[in-house]
Structures are given as C-alpha cells and as structure tokens.
Amino acid sequence: MATPLQTLLVRAPSFEGLNTEDSPLGQALTFALSADNAVIDRLGRLGSRLAFAKDTDSIPTTETVLTETVRTEKNITQMGGGDINGNYVILCVVVVEQYNKENEVIRQDYFVCRKDDDVLTPMDMPPGIPDRTEIGRADIVYFNDKLYLFSNGNPALIYDDTADELVSMSAETNWLPPQDDDGVIATEIDGDIALPAYGRLWVSGVGGDYNRIYYSDLLIANQWYDGKGTPTDTQNTGGIIDVSEFWPNGGDRIISLAAHNNFLIVFGRESILVYANAASGDPAAEGGIFLQDSMMNLGSVGRDAVVNTGSDVLFVDDSGIRSLSRTIQEKSVPIGDISRNVRGDIRRVIAESEQQRIELSYWPSESVIVCLFPDTAQAFVASANAPSSTGGLKMTKWNRCFFNKTHYYENQGTTAVYLGGNTEQNGLLSYDGYTEWNDQAFTFKYSSMPLDFGEPAKDKFMKSIDYTIFSLFEETNATARWGYDGNLTRKKAIGIDALIPAYYNEATFGDTTFGASGSTIRRYRVNTRGSGSMARIGLDVKILGNEVSVQEINVQTLLGRIN
Amino acid sequence: MGDKVDGIQGLLGAAGGLAYANEISKRGQGYAKEMGSLAGQLQSDSAFKGYGVNTGLANSTIEADGTMNLGIGRDQGMADAGNAGFDAGMGAMGNAQNMLQANSSNPAYQQAMGMYGANASNSQMGNALAAQQGGMSGISNQQQGMLNASNQMMQQSMQGQAGREQDIYGRAMAMQQPMLDQQRAQMNAREFAQGRSGIRGSQFGGTGEDAAMARAQAQAQNSAAFQSMGMAQQEQMQQANMANMYGGMGQGAAGLQGSLGMNMGNLGLQNAQLGQGAAQGMGGLGLSQAQLGQSAAGSMGQIGANQAQMGMQQYQNSYLGMQNQLAAMQNAQSGANMAQTGQLTGTGYAAQLGLGGVQTAVNADKAAGELYGNVAAAMMNNANGKDGASSWLGDIFDF
C-alpha cells in the first residue's frame, strides 16, 4: 500500500547561519552546513552578500621601475580615515612590489595615498624615515581633525589635509616628547599600536617597548608625558602606563588596544587587561585610571583583530571571535563566544593564517562583523543582529575576498565600506551593489543540515523540493542540489526570475517596468529522486547584478521502511 | 963695504950682549940658591923647642911639636863619690816622680770622680727625670687632647651650619628611611591592589597618590629640615661651650704640667746638688791628698836634686888637681914665650944680614949688566942703514 507523501516545510531555512560545531544530526533546520557569500538579510533570511565593487580606477604611484621588472603588484595594506575639518579623508598605505622573471621581489616601495574620488593620490612623506618597510603595516588613526600614521621605529606622521604631505609629529611646534628630569625618554612616538580614545592618543610599542602605553595630553596629540619637577606645560596630563606588573600569566606583550565604556582594554597575545576610568580628566590623578580586571588565556592574535561594535568589544583569539563585554560581565566560563557555531572551522583558519594580517571589522550599516583572512581571501561574517539560539552570532562565510583591509566610512549620514584591494582591482573596492569589480559572478551557496523528517530510522525518498526564493534586479541561474547521507550528489539547474521592484516615488508609470513587490518572491519546484536515510538539500546561485535570499524550502518525501 | 962692517959690528955686539946676559942669569940663580940655604938655616933656628913645668902636683911638658903632657889626671875617688851622690839624687827624683804618679791615681780623687760620675747617672735624678717626663708626657697628652678637643669644638662651632644641618637632616631622614620605604612599599602594594601601579602622569610624575605621599613625605622632610636647622644651632652653641670647657681643662693641664715640671725639676736639682756637694767634698779630699803627695814628691825631688848637686860638685872636685897644674902651665907659658921671642929675634937678624949681602950682589950685577947692555946696543945700531933705514941684519933681527 502506497504511503502518503511527507511534507517538510522549512521557513527561512538556515536563518541562524552556519553551525559546524554541533552534530549535524538532530539539528534544527535553522542552521546551515554551508553558507558561502551569504549574509543574514534585513528580513532574517539567508541571502547573498553585496558585491565587492570597483571604487578607484588607478594607483598612480611614482616608484622607480627596474629594468629587470617583469611584474608589479600594488597592495593596499593599511587604511584609515576621518573627518578633517568637514572633509572626510581616507588614507591608504600602498606597497608596491616589483618582481623579476624568477618571480622574486626585487624592489619594494611604500606610499601613503589619499583617496580622491576614483584616484589614490600619493602623499609626500618627510625624509629620513628609518624603516619604510614598517610603513606597510602602520596603524592609521583619526584624532582631533587629523590623521596619524604610527609605524614601528618611525616617527609618527601627521596628515592635516592642508597639503599633499605628511609631516613628522616631532617637527610640530608644540612637540613635547616623553621626558622627565633624567632627560627625554623617547625621542619619537615610534610605536605601531595606537588608539584614539577619550580625548587622547594611546600608543604602545614606543622604543620597541610593548609593556608601556604612552598617552598624550588631552586633545593635544603632540604633548606626551612630562615628569620633570616643573612640567613644560603645567596643564599637561599626558602620561605612561606600565602594564608589565599586571600580566596575569607572568608576562606578555601588548598586541592591541581598544576603548569601550570608559575602559581601556589592553590586549596581550594570551591575556587581557581592562583598565577602568580611562576617560577621567587626568588618568594619573587620584580616582583616575586603574586596572579593573585581567584575563588569562584570552588575547588578540593581531593588532587589527579587535573591533568595537558600540555595545561590545570583539576580538579574534586563537579560538575564534570573542566578546569582551560578555567576558567582563560573566567573569567566568562560558564566556562570550561570537563564533561559537563555527569554532572548529575558524580556529583552523586562524591557526593557518598569517595572524598579523587578520582583521576584524564592524560595518554598522550592514550590521555585520567581518573577520577577514587576507592570505586565504576568505572571511567569516557574523551578523550583528540577534544572536543565534546557541548564543553565538549567526555566521556565514565569504570567499573571493581579494583585499587586505577594510574601512567603514560614515560621514554626515552617508555610509560606505571601502576595501583595500590590489593592482588587479585598481585600488579600492567598495562593499556595494551586486556587481563584482571584475564583472564576474560569484556564487551564493547554501546547504542544509541532514534531514531525517522525524523518522531517523526510515529511508527517505525525496520527490520534490520547492525553493521559495526572493530575488531582485536580474535573472540568474541557480543549481538545486540534493543528496542523501550527508552528500549533495544530485543537482538540477533552475532559472531564477527577477523583477524590478517598484518603490514609492522612485518610478512612475510609463517610465519603467514595475510590478507588485510580492512578485519578486517565487517558488521554484525541483523534482528529485534517490533515497537514503538522511537527506540534504542545497542551492547555488550565481550573483551578478542580482540579489537572492532563500525564504522558504518545502521538501516532499516518502518514508520507507525501517532499515 | 961699510954696511958689511957695520953689520959685523952689530953681530959682534949682539953676540957679546947675549953672552953677558947668560952670565947674569947664572948669577941670579946662584943668589937664589944661597937664599934657599939661608931660609933653611933660619927655619931650623927659629923652630919651637918645647918646655916643661914641674910642680908638687906633677911634671908637665910641652914638646917641640906642641904636644902637652900634663902629668896629672882626675881624682878617681872623688869622681866615684860624685857619681854615687848623683845616682842617689836620681833615685830620689825617681821616687818623687813615682809619688807624683801615685798621686795622679789618688783613690780619694778617683772616688770623688766616681761620685761625680755617679751623680751624673744619679738614679734618683733619673727617677725624678723619668717621673717628670712621664708626668709631663701624660699631662701633655691630656693637654693636647683637651686643646685638640677644644680646637675641634671651636672649629665646629665656627663652621657654617648648612653642612651640619644637612648631616642632621641626613641622619634624621636615614632614621625615617625605613618607615618611608615601608610607606612607599605599602603605597606600591596598595596601588598594585588598586590597579594603579605603573601609572605616571605629567602632573604628578607618578600617580596622584604617589604625589600625595610625596607631598606628605616632603612636608616631613621640610619639618626635619627645620628641626635640623634648630638642632644645628643648638649643637653649635654646645660645641662652643665645650670648646671653652676643653680649653679651660687644657690650660689647667698645662698649668699642672708646669707645676709638676717645676717640682720635678727642683727635686732633680736638689738631688743633683747633693751629688755635686758629695762629689765636691770627695774632690777636696782628693785634692788635699794629691797636694800632700805632690809635696812629698817635691821634697823627695829636692833631696834627689841636692844629692845630684853634691855628686856633681864632687865630680868637679876630682879635676881640681888638673886645673891647678894647668894654671901652673899657664904661668910657665910666659917664660916659654920670652925664650921663643929671643930665639926669633936672633933668627931675624941673621936673615936680614944674609938678605942684605945677596941684595948687594944683585945690585952690583944689575949695574954691570946695564952697562954692558948699553955697549952691545951701540954696536948693534951700526948694523942699520943710513939714516936709520933698515939693513939686512935689521931685516933678520927686527930691533
């Protein structure tokens, strides 16, 4: 006797993103086993990310080209920006490498370029920079209407948007190096870990000392600690914090600095120090800054692997992306583990990556937190919206991330995300639109957890899969995939329709084609075959000028006998 | 022809002259021989013939050759007695010399000299001097110590107070240092516990708490500094007073030292005077004894001298006979002289007469010779040319 078809309706499948940590069996269908180039869209669905779109057209650097050079690569390795007297300026560090026919680097040049619309204009730098290679990993921070470029062993450089040049901080008229009655402590602020916060610049690595933090005078970035009996500027409140006594594991070095909620958070490689009351008028005064907490076996893998989301400070640890505020609140395990759902995957990637290049960035307008691994051109992306049911944030994964740095731009209500690309991308990219910088499609890929339809002991014979897909702008091709026992061995191509939505007052009758907004959501049925104890389904969609989200999946299957 | 005759005349004159000259010469030689014989005769006649003196004492003779034989010698017995007396005098003088020598080693004198020597090394005086030296040394040291202390105190009291204030301040702070270190350690611990360690600000050098503690410590230091100033002033006054006190003690010690020195000097002087008196007494005794010795020796010497004088007189008397004989001979000498004078006078007469005869012969020959010479010369002048010119003879015999 024929058995009735069983219907499994999954609404907003995998809207909780990836989960590779828990056993795939018995998991809710709200998690995905793969979600490539995906985000959790504004309606909580799993959808395609935006494109890495072209932004600048060229990088007109002026390096000397050697005769042996057969190939030149330009990479934007660092970015920073801010509003300088009403003009938002983005500075990029461009590393130019020339290769010979043996594919060996025979020359390196370093430029600091300013984004001028679609051109990166090189800025002049003061002569006599001791180690220009360190410019390649400089820390560019914005502070009090100026941009500061801090690099290891080099003078701090200042850009104030008055000329196409950077000047040395020590050349400023009000320059006051760290000093005391015994003399000048540091002739230059030559550290490469900088944090603008609470009206001061906080810098570590000065003189190669990564156990000290030099903080500037209030709103005067050129004045630093003055421990003389009578300070040169009696109003100076600059100072020094030596953290070497407080490492809970006996010793560490400062990797990164962060500010949050009146805290100064000092990240070591394997420990974290949390200084409270950092925003006091004079941190050294009574009632000023003090160490409130310290943590062992937690730390940042790199200077740029820390980001403040406004409500939280996230950082990349060896175990993944961690949440500091939760850590502080809980003060015990389990601590905030943002990447909990992909812990194993991200831990392996972190371990295999060049950790100094790992970047954690927060894009508020996209409500995502991007953990970028430039050397493998991939990123783990966490939704900054509500966390998943496991406690971790909803995670997806991006590939084809051919950029080294990101910069979130916000100026007078306008937001953008700039991505530091390379020669092939002619400089900067932007996270925007649906067309990649090279006009090549990328693939949004989804696959489900194994499905047992509540009868794990019985064979499943999937008869059809109905994909309800939200799409926009452009038709595209997709591939429906399914399989049994954990594999997606079967597939069928489907065409994804797209209708241009009509928005109020954006298009009028007769100007263009428009239809009802609901018409962009359509169900695509795919007849399937085969059997197995566990079923899996998936979907690959080419993204090129279009947008796709998976809204609903309906699987119809027969249940067989008990194996 | 005339010339030749003249010449022959001349030759004959010459030959006659020569022959006469030879004759005269022969006559002279005969006279000389006669005078020699006369001289011999006179010598024999005028020679001393000697004489003799006969007295009751002895027969003395003077021989022709002048030899005298007194015929008497000294009286040997008297000479021997004189020698014996001389020897006895010499013996007495030797005894006197011995007595004088014995006096030079006069025991009393030697004892006196010993007492002088003993006085020079007078143990009492040595003790007194040692005691004096010891006392003076001790008191001198005491005085020097007092004066040094006084000087030191005076110098200290005259020094500027700043250095001393600093010293007192340093000591005060050194005493406080453990407490300050403890406070600092407690502060560091407190700061560490509060998470404030390692923070340095421009306004405070360190933290505000560090500055508060530094202020508190600075106030304590200021207080200590002011206290140090007061203490330094007090100390300076104390030092001045102590300088005075030590100075007084030093002066007292100096006075005491002077008194002790004088006492000991007097004691030594008295002791020395005693020694000198004893030595002087002994010296007087020695001197008297020496004078006695000298007097005895003088007497003894005088006796010896008298005996020697007597010996000498006796010895001289032994020659008294000879003297008397010589005196007799002197008386006889005048007779001898008269005999000799007569002898010589006769001889003189004989000589004069002999010489007168010879002289007469000579004078006769001389006159004859001169006459004969004039004849020969006239003959020879004929041998010359006319007018006195030369002739052949003249050419042979240049006249």
Per-residue pLDDT, averaged over B287-299, amounts to 76
What is the reported pLDDT for A517?
A: 45
Per-residue model confidence (pLDDT) at position A168:
96
Q: Is the pLDDT of residue A510 over 80?
A: no
Measured over the CA atoms of residue A528, residue A530, residue A532 and residue A536, the dihedral's sign is: negative
Question: Residue A441 is encoded by which pair of tokens?
Answer: 């499609």
The one-letter amino acid code at A373 reads F
Q: Tell me, what's the pLDDT at A519?
A: 47
Burial B92-123 (b: 16+ CB within 10 A, else e): bbebbeebbeebeebebbebbeebbeebeebe
The CA distance from A444 to A345, in Å, is: 19
pLDDT given at position A71: 93
Confidence at residue B311, expressed as pLDDT on a 0 to 100 scale = 81
Chain A residues with CB under 8 Å of B208 CB are 282, 284-288
Which residues, other chains included, contact A402 with Cβ-Cβ below 8 Å and sequence gap of 6+? A52, A377, A421, A422, A424, A425
Predicted confidence at residue B82, as pLDDT, reads 79
Q: Indicate whether B374 pLDDT > 70.
A: yes
Q: Which residue has the higher pLDDT, A143 or A563?
A: A143
Contact A458, A534 (CB under 8 A): no
C-alpha pair distances (Å), A408 with each of A228, A309, A370:
41, 12, 11
Confidence of residue B397 (pLDDT cuts 50, 70, 90): low
- Reported as a pLDDT band with limits 50, 70 and 90, residue B30 is confident
Least confident of A10-24, A145-159, A196-210: A10-24
pLDDT reported for residue B4: 67
Would strands B51-54 and B59-62 be described as parallel, antiparallel, or unpaired?
antiparallel
Per-range mean pLDDT, top range of A163-167, A424-428, B248-252: A163-167
Q: Which chain B residues have a beta carbon less than 8 Å from that of A287?
A: 208
Is the CB of residue A153 less than 8 Å away from at least one CB of chain B? Answer: no
**A176, closest residue in chain B (CA to CA):** B202
A214 touches chain B (CB under 8 A): no
- A177 has a chain B CB within 8 A of its CB: no
- In chain B the first and final C-alpha atoms are separated, in Å, by 22
pLDDT of residue B321: 82
pLDDT at A551 over 50: yes
A20-24, A309-313, B232-236: the lowest-pLDDT one:
A20-24
Residues 6+ positions from A79 with CB-CB distance below 8 Å: A90, A91, A92, A93, A140, A405, A406, A407, A418, A420
Report the alpha-carbon distance of residue B238 to residue A59 in Å, rounded. Answer: 88
pLDDT for A257 equals: 97
- Identity of residue B128: A
Top residue of A218, A233, A241 to mutate, by most chain B CBs within 10 Å, is A241
For residue B123, the model assigns a pLDDT of 61
| Statement: residue B53 has pLDDT above 90 | no
Amino acid identity of residue B1, one-letter, is M
pLDDT of residue A179: 95
Interface with A, mutate which of B187, B191, B192, B200 (most A CBs under 10 A): B200
Give Cα B227 distance to the centre of its chain. 86
**Mean pLDDT taken over chain B:** 78
**Contact call for residues A273 and A256 (beta carbons, < 8 A):** no
What is the DSSP-derived secondary structure letter of residue A387? -
Q: Is the pLDDT of residue A431 over 60?
A: yes
What is d(CA A382, CA A337) in angstroms, rounded to the nearest whole number? Answer: 11
Interface predicted TM-score (ipTM) of this complex, two decimals: 0.84
Residue of A212, A218, A262, A282 to mutate for B, most B C-beta atoms under 10 A: A282
Q: Among all chains, which residue has been given the structure tokens 């009000």?
A: A174
Instruction: Name the strand (E) or helix (H) holding A477.
Output: strand A476-484
| pLDDT for A511 beyond 70 | no
Distance, in angstroms, between B177 CA and closest chain A CA?
Answer: 22
CA nearest to B198 within chain A: A242
What distance in Å separates the CA atoms of residue B106 and residue B290, rounded to the nearest whole number?
Answer: 7
- Give percent helix, percent strand, percent coil of chain B, each to the nearest 5: 85, 5, 10
Of the two residues A517 and B19, the one the predictor is more confident about is B19
pLDDT-derived band at A92, boundaries 50, 70, 90: very high
pLDDT band at B128; cut points 50, 70, 90: low
Q: Which residue in B214, B189, B195, B196 sits closest to A285, CA to CA?
A: B196
Q: What is the pLDDT, as a whole number, of residue B2?
A: 54
The pLDDT score that the predictor gives to residue A26 is 66
* Mean pLDDT, rounded, of chain A: 89
The string of DSSP letters for B76-134 reads HHHHHHHHHHHHHHHHHHHHHHHHHHHHHT-HHHHHHHHHHHHHHT-HHHHHHHHHHHH
Helix pair B208-317, B161-193: axis angle to 10 deg: 140
Nearest neighbour of A239 by CB, restricted to B194, B201, B209: B201
Q: What is the DSSP string of A252-278?
A: --EEEEEEETTEEEEEESSEEEEEE-T
Does the pLDDT of residue B149 top 90, yes or no? Answer: no
Distance of CA B190 to CAs A250, A278, A408, B77, B193, Å?
20, 19, 43, 148, 5
Position A509 scores a pLDDT of 53
pLDDT digits (tens, 9 = 90+) for A391-401: 889 999 999 99
Of chain A, the percentage scoring pLDDT greater than 90 comes to 66
Q: Do the Cβ atoms of B201 and A282 come within 8 Å?
A: yes
Rounded to whole angstroms, the Cα distance separating B86 from B93 reads: 10
Torsion sign across C-alpha atoms B315, B320, B325, B327: positive
Residues A505/A522, Cβ–Cβ less than 8 Å: no
Instruction: Please give the Cα distance from B341 to B365 (Å, whole number).
Output: 36
Q: Is the pLDDT of residue B154 over 60?
A: yes
Question: Which residue from A minimizes the CA distance to B211?
Answer: A285
**Distance between B211 CA and the closest CA of chain A, angstroms:** 9
* Confidence at residue A425, expressed as pLDDT on a 0 to 100 scale: 78
Report how far Cα B274 is from the mean position of its chain's Cα atoms: 41
d(CA B73, CA B70): 8
Residue type, B150: S
Mean pLDDT, rounded, for A381-408: 92
pLDDT at A253: 97
The model's pLDDT over A158-216, given as tens digits with 9 standing for 90+, comes to 999 999 999 999 999 999 999 999 999 999 999 999 999 999 999 999 999 999 999 99
Give the model confidence (pLDDT) of A204-259 as tens digits. 999 999 999 999 999 999 999 999 988 999 999 999 999 999 999 989 999 999 99
Gap between the Cα atoms of A29 and A469, Å rounded? 17
CA gap A471, A521 in Å, rounded: 6
Query: Counting runs of H as helices and runs of E as strands, what totals does chain B give?
Result: 8, 4
Distance from C-alpha of B63 to C-alpha of B49, rounded to nearest angstrom: 7
User: How close B210 comes to chain A (CA, Å)?
Assistant: 9
pLDDT confidence of residue A124:
95
Can you say whether the dihedral through the CA atoms of B139, B141, B143, B146 is positive or negative? negative
Task: Return the pLDDT at B258.
Answer: 67
Which of A64-68, A447-451, B315-319 reaches the highest mean pLDDT?
A64-68
Residue A382, helix vs strand vs coil: strand
C-alpha distances (whole Å) from A42 to each of A201, A384, A553 are 37, 11, 19
- Asked if pLDDT for residue B104 goes beyond 70, the answer is no
Cβ pair B208:A284 closer than 8 A: yes
Is the model more confident about B267 or about A519?
B267
